Structure 1
Amino acid sequence: MFAAILLGLCWPSSKPTARPARAMSGSADEFACQVSAVTDGDTLRCADGARIRLHAVAAREKDESCSPGHPCPAASGAAATAQLRELAAGQRLQCLATGTSYNRVTAICHNESGLEINCAMVQSGTTVLWPRYNEQRPICDRS
């Protein structure tokens, strides 16, 4: 309980015009990520070294391939990477961990404007929704 109160006192508040991030309930699965690098269209790195994989989102690999059995967007990996940079580079994200994938935390993240990055990437057309993971924990949730 003390940790949740302390987290609430230290966590930055959303801008008044931003939609409040769903992830801000005091859960131990919530964390902040100061984005230091965008690795590709669905992965970024935080200043503390953590690697974040966007939950329920699939982008092409850097070599423009799609892994067997994975959803494959029509857009290029370069386009997805550029879009993720536009939405997240240099920002402090508020994230909710949903699991792990290849030594990365999978998460649903909101940028400083309150925009859900995962949903925005799919809506941009540069990535596609990964239904299997979206069923477990939906993105683009407007509740």
Structure 2
Amino acid sequence: MWKAINIRPMKPAKRRFFGRDAKFIGTVAVVAIAAFAGTMLLPRGGEPSVALAAIPAYDFVCDVAYVNDGDTLRCIDGTRVRIHAIAARETDNSCSPGHPCPSASASESKAALTRLAGNRITCVQTGKSYERVTAICHNMSGVEINCAMVESGAAEVWDKFNRQRAICGG
């Protein structure tokens, strides 16, 4: 009267690779790639160089097309850059009314900016002035161009703008 019941063991559910395991493996891969890339960017010795550590994050890169005068240049992409918080003589050697006036001539200031900027600069935008981007810029050696122009005597600090955003690492 009793009937035998055939009990079969249950098969374990098949695990799908596309669930939690895939997310975990993906996360591990991203972390590993980021760690590897971060390690490769450090110079030998494990410490970032002083020049790289001193350069702040920048807003844009300018491949310099030409230098207009001692405080303005143009990038190859057409962007006009006004070097923030400095004043240099105009191309006719005059100083605009109300602007600081350096002792350096217009050609000396232009030559100094040309030498400092080189072919490429990185810049942090500080504002706009007459359809130009005002910026604090560094050359490829890590030198802050704004400050170097003042220190060389090729330009004067323009206090009005320097108080808004200080140059020379201030």
Pick the TM interval, shorter chain.
Answer: 0.7 to 0.9
**Which aligned segments of 4 or more residues in structure 1 are displaced greater than 6 angstroms?**
none
The Cα shift of 1:93 comes to 1.0
Find out whether 1:20 has 2:49 as its counterpart. no
Higher RCO (C-alpha 8 Å, min separation 6)? 1
Find out whether 1:81 has 2:110 as its counterpart. yes
Q: How many percent identity over aligned positions?
A: 56
Q: Which runs of 5+ in 1 are unaligned?
A: 1-12
Larger Rg: 2
Q: What one-letter code is carried by the residue in structure 2 that aligns with 1:126? A: A
- Please give the alpha-carbon distance, in whole angstroms, between the structure 1 residues aligned to 2:67 and 2:136: 15
TM-score by length of 2: 0.69
Aligned length: 127
Provide the aligned C-alpha RMSD in A: 2.3
Equivalent of residue 127 in structure 1, options 155, 159, 165: 155
Q: Any residues of structure 2 matched to 1:3-82 within 5 Å, and which?
A: 16=49, 18-24=51-57, 30-82=59-111
Q: Please state which structure has a larger fraction of its residues in strand.
A: 1
The Cα shift of 1:21 comes to 4.7
The Cα shift of 1:74 comes to 1.0
The Cα shift of 1:17 comes to 5.5
Q: Which runs of 5+ in 2 are unaligned?
A: 1-41, 43-47
